[in-house]
Amino acid sequence: MEKITRFGVSIEPELIKKFDKIIKKKGYTNRSEAIRDIIRKDLITEKHMDPNSEAIGTLTMIYDHHTGNLTNRLLDLQHDHTREILSTTHIHIDHHNCLEVLVLKGKTGNIQKLADNIKSLKGIKHGELVITESQL
């Protein structure tokens, strides 16, 4: 079993009350696990500020496939980035709208640039890139 380090934290009563309310709502069984998740998230964010760091993530987007030449532009971009795109999932929401998720892997800068290029296309209603990694 991995060695655990214990440490004390001083927090104002109102702040800990708000924190306890949030972690209960999220389903944490204790403060330690919630704090570990906050630390992990911050470490990932810090690491991926370096555009040359390796990352894995997802780009989730909603778009109207009837907008101009959007579908062809998306396909062209995806075919131009087969190194970064591991997988795609496409769901038809209704007659006009689609949800698509791209699973991405590669240099953070390349993933971010690809996501920005896709999100800026006319017809993309919403897009969100989530970058994470498998190891900390």
Instruction: Break the chain into its structural domains and give their ranges.
Output: 13-47, 54-132
How many CA within 13 A on the CB side of residue 15? 4
Answer whether CATH 3.30.70.1150 is correct for domain 54-132: yes
Q: What pLDDT score was predicted for residue 48?
A: 85
Q: What pLDDT score was predicted for residue 2?
A: 77
- For Cα atoms 76, 82, 88, give the angle at the middle one, nearest 5 degrees: 80
**Mean pLDDT in consecutive groups of 10 residues from the start of the chain, 136 residues:** 86 95 95 93 89 94 94 94 96 96 96 96 96 76
Residue for token pair 């062209």: 76
Q: What pLDDT score was predicted for residue 96?
A: 93
- For Cα atoms 134, 135, 136, give the angle at the middle one, nearest 5 degrees: 135
Residues with Cβ < 8 Å from 59, sequence gap 6 or more? 101, 102, 104, 114, 115, 118, 119, 127, 128, 129, 130
Helix and strand counts by DSSP (H, E) for the chain = 4, 4
